[in-house]
Amino acid sequence: LSGEALARASVEALPWGDEQAAATVGKADLVLCSDCLYRQETHAQLLATLIALCKPSSIVALAFEERRTPVEMSFLQMSEDAFHVSKVTVPFEEDNSVLVYAMQLK
């Protein structure tokens, strides 16, 4: 990143499901999530937080190592109610079990 994009970039820790906390951060252009799907009981809160952070043009990049396929796929299916979800092909994918998905509000 450089210039204006660097000046606007921030890293925030947010409690999932707390829409007020997400509102204090504001709407994001890009949300990066890595290894956030391991606990199925938190999926609804994570999804609510992502929805609160996004505007129509926002992109959510979701990356995770495939460990518990039914749990991970459950989140992706749940997300499809609010987001367009598409798998991203990445060069290193053949070498390990890291999957990357792009999500954008419907």
Torsion of CA 8, 9, 14, 20, to 10 degrees: 10
pLDDT in tens, 27-47: 999 999 999 998 999 999 999
Report the C-alpha gap between 59 and 68 in whole angstroms: 24
pLDDT band at 94 (very low <50, low <70, confident <90, very high): low
pLDDT in tens, 95-104: 667 889 999 9
- At 45-82, the pLDDT tens digits run 999 999 999 999 999 999 998 888 889 999 999 999 99
The band of 11, judged by pLDDT with boundaries at 50, 70 and 90, is confident
